Amino acid sequence: MTMGAPRFWRKTQSRYNLYGVKCKSCNATYFPPRKICPSCRRASKLEDVKLTPKGEVLTYTVIRSAPEGFERQTPYIMAIVKLDEGPMVTTQIVDCEPDEVEIGMAVEGVFRKIRESGKDGPIYYGFKFRPARADKDLAV
Amino acid sequence: MKMNKVAVIGVGLTKFGELWDQSFSDLFVEAGANAIVDAGIDGKDIDAIYLGNMSGGRFIEQEHMASLISDQAGLNPAPATRIEAACASGGLAVRQGVIAVASGMHDVVVVGGVEKMTDITSERVTQTLITAADQEWEAFLGMTFPGVYALIARRHMHEFGTTREQLAAVSVKNHANAKDNPHAQFRFDVTVEQVLGSTMVADPLTLLDCSPITDGAACIVLASPEKAKEFTDSPVYITGAGQATSTIALHDRERITVSDATINAAKAAYKMAGKGPEDIDVAEVHDCFTIAELLAIEGLGFCEIGEGGPFTEEGSTARGGKISVNTSGGLKAKGHPVGATGVAQVVEVVLQLRGEAGKRQVDADVGLTHNVGGSGGTAAVHILEK
Ligand SMILES: [Zn+2]
């Protein structure tokens, strides 16, 4: 898809720094941020929270036929990662070959280039995940 | 929730496939004319039109589809309304038609579904289909529509031991059914080996796990039971209608291997009709990918959650099995013109209940249709009886 600058910019706190929300009424954590907690509805008490970019691979696939802006990345791994703090995110898994990824693998967030938009368009950045390394500082 | 019965008094289809010489409105007019002739009604009998269409805006750069098709079909000034819910647009259009008649607002309505997908490149089609997912948190990050279902398939295999061969069995069965459907896009057999050996699209799903890009239209004529008597002695009745909603993004779903929208829509439809899964003889379910048919038959209660793989592999969903699933060939082999699919499903079940399904006829008194939008954000279920 194409995304205009304002639409991207509006969510940069979440895209760059993995900001979600936590509901003070029920303790549920959501990512990306929501305006209403679906459990508490009118009793929602949401506040911003920076999530720890650690989790595990819940499921994955290898994209071989890529959408626009990702042609040069194929084959690439897409996964749903369950964050240690609860929410699940769709993300690319990098620094890992397609035959190395597995369900249950511990992963950590890194800040990377997400996509290009045409030859002259902006380059978008955000989080991806890679196999967890105990010895490195987290980039996100 | 109790509902006044609604009769289906006419059905019509176009051929499904790459229909280079037919425009969007040509497709509607052809399917509509077939349904109106089948019903034995005249254009002036039609009180309203409901149209299922996912993305005229992106496929042919045309919005305001309802005016276009009513105009071209010569049905003005009847009120015409377009309904959109991605791949479930057709199923929701059927539901709106049912509500209109059951409420007493209208006596006779036409429900159409149309999609014209082959006027743009397949890359653009792929871009359009992923708009059914969350644009900002799935598509923008590089997700594709086959990719979303591949995530479900991988997890289903992990949680329940579903095998690659069991997924392929869905494609094999539906191709075998399509062979006997003159309207189907793919009228040839495939083998498990061919499915496994075809081009990998998004692991573990191959090209032959995926429904194709299709042009096509489907139409039905709905009427109140009293009005139906004027036109037919043997209508088929819609006795249950359920619709439910779930998260648009797969990652927000409590269990990604279970379609909660399907479960909830089915629950509502069964309750309304006073039926259960054990009463259903024939079902058209949403198999946009092979894994989707497993989620469908599990969510509809034809087998236990997680048992869809073995249930399919042992032939329980084949024609004449415990329950005949996708006798038309399903989305996989009949073709999947997205906005038309939910209406075409009703056409097939009506033909089966009337005993007019030709070589693919099964013994059936009660049928069900199941239409899904996106990865499961929307589901619509209808129950039909003689
Ligand atoms: Zn809450």
A103-124 tens-digit pLDDT: 999 999 999 999 887 778 888 8
Interface residue B188 vs chain A (CB under 8 A): no
Query: In this structure, what token pair is assigned to residue B184?
Result: 């189907």
- Whether the per-residue pLDDT at A13 is higher than 90: the answer is no
Query: What pLDDT, on a 0 to 100 scale, did the predictor assign at position A40?
Result: 97
Q: Which of B87, B210, B288, B303 is catalytic?
A: B87
> What residues are paired with A90 via a beta bridge?
A80
Which CATH number fits the domain that encloses residue B149?
A: 3.40.47.10
Same domain, A59 and A75: yes
- Whether the per-residue pLDDT at A140 is higher than 70: the answer is no
Query: What pLDDT, on a 0 to 100 scale, did the predictor assign at position B209?
Result: 98
Query: Mean of the per-residue pLDDT values for chain B?
Result: 97
Same domain, B232 and B221: yes
Same domain, B99 and B83: yes
The range of the structural domain enclosing residue A92 comes to: 52-140
For B27, residues 6+ apart whose C-beta sits below 8 A from its C-beta are B14, B19, B114, B116, B215, B216, B217
Q: Which residues of A touch B (CB under 8 A)?
A: 1, 3, 7, 11, 32, 58-70, 73, 76, 78-80, 88-92, 98, 103, 114-115, 124, 126
Question: Do the domain assignments include residue B378?
Answer: yes
The tens digit of pLDDT for each residue in A70-105 reads 888 999 999 999 999 999 999 999 999 999 999 999
Question: Do the domain assignments include residue A3?
Answer: no
Distance from the alpha carbon of residue B49 to the mean position of ligand 1, in angstroms? 42
Min Cα–Cα distance to chain A from B6, Å: 35
Distance from the alpha carbon of residue A35 to the mean position of ligand 1, in angstroms? 11
Same domain, B87 and B174: no
Same domain, A79 and A65: yes
Same domain, A38 and A58: no
Query: What pLDDT, on a 0 to 100 scale, did the predictor assign at position A127?
Result: 94
Query: What pLDDT, on a 0 to 100 scale, did the predictor assign at position B161?
Result: 98
- Sheet with B236-245: list strands edge to edge: B80-83, B48-52, B108-115, B216-223, B6-13, B236-245, B378-385, B366-373, B282-284, B324-325
Q: Is residue B303 among the annotated active site residues? A: no
> HEC states along B234-288?
CCEEEEEEEEEECCCCHHHCCCCCCCHHHHHHHHHHHHHHCCCHHHCCEEECCCC
Distance from the alpha carbon of residue A29 to the mean position of ligand 1, in angstroms? 8
Same domain, B189 and B220: no
- Whether the per-residue pLDDT at B323 is higher than 70: the answer is yes
Question: Do the domain assignments include residue A10?
Answer: no
Same domain, B173 and B106: no
* Residue in B181, B187, B215, B183 with CA at minimum distance from that of residue B337: B215
C-alpha angle B304-B309-B311 in degrees, rounded to nearest 5: 60
Question: Do the domain assignments include residue B248?
Answer: yes
The tens digit of pLDDT for each residue in B82-139 reads 999 999 999 999 999 999 999 999 999 999 999 999 999 988 998 899 999 999 999 9
- Tell me the chain A residues in contact with residue B249 when contact means C-beta distances shorter than 8 Å: 90
Query: What pLDDT, on a 0 to 100 scale, did the predictor assign at position A61?
Result: 98
DSSP state of A47: E
Segment A56-63 shows an average pLDDT of 98
Same domain, A44 and A111: no
Same domain, A38 and A72: no
Minimum Cα–Cα distance from A112: chain B residue: B141
The CA distance from B208 to B198, in Å, is 6
* Residue in B355, B358, B378, B379 with CA at minimum distance from that of residue B367: B355
Q: Is residue B288 among the annotated active site residues? A: no
Question: Do the domain assignments include residue A29?
Answer: yes
Same domain, A105 and A137: yes
Q: Are B14 and B45 in contact (CB under 8 A)?
A: no
Question: Do the domain assignments include residue B1?
Answer: no
Q: How far is CA A12 from CA A20, B342, B345, in A?
A: 11, 38, 43
Q: How many residues appear in chain A?
A: 140
Question: Do the domain assignments include residue B149?
Answer: yes
> What residues are paired with B384 via a beta bridge?
B238, B367
The range of the structural domain enclosing residue B104 comes to: 6-120+214-236
Question: Do the domain assignments include residue A98?
Answer: yes
Same domain, B156 and B93: no
Same domain, A78 and A36: no
Question: Do the domain assignments include residue B199?
Answer: yes
Which CATH number fits the domain that encloses residue A110?
A: 2.40.50
The tens digit of pLDDT for each residue in B264-321 reads 999 999 999 999 999 999 999 999 999 999 999 999 999 999 999 999 999 999 999 9
The more confident residue out of B4 and A95 is A95
Question: Do the domain assignments include residue B105?
Answer: yes
- Whether the per-residue pLDDT at B345 is higher than 70: the answer is yes
If you compute the radius of gyration of chain A from its CA atoms, what whole number of angstroms results? 16
Query: What pLDDT, on a 0 to 100 scale, did the predictor assign at position A119?
Result: 77
Q: Which of B156, B336, B370, B382 is catalytic?
A: B336
Query: In this structure, what token pair is assigned to residue B186?
Result: 């793919």
The tens digit of pLDDT for each residue in B354-383 reads 999 999 999 999 999 999 999 999 999 999
For B238, residues 6+ apart whose C-beta sits below 8 A from its C-beta are B5, B6, B7, B8, B94, B98, B222, B346, B382, B383, B384
Segment B132-157 shows an average pLDDT of 96
Interface residue B138 vs chain A (CB under 8 A): yes
Confidence of residue B174 (pLDDT cuts 50, 70, 90): very high
Question: Do the domain assignments include residue A1?
Answer: no
Same domain, B145 and B113: no
Same domain, B78 and B156: no
Confidence of residue B4 (pLDDT cuts 50, 70, 90): confident
Query: What pLDDT, on a 0 to 100 scale, did the predictor assign at position A135?
Result: 59
As for how many domains chain A has, the answer is 2
Query: What pLDDT, on a 0 to 100 scale, did the predictor assign at position A10?
Result: 85
Minimum Cα–Cα distance from B148: chain A residue: A61
As for how many domains chain B has, the answer is 2
Q: What is the phi/psi pair of residue B205, to 5°?
A: -95, 130
Same domain, B225 and B189: no
Same domain, B115 and B77: yes
Question: Do the domain assignments include residue B224?
Answer: yes
Beta-carbon separation of B154 and A62 below 8 A: no
Angle between helices B89-102 and B338-354 (to 10 degrees): 60
Same domain, A65 and A26: no
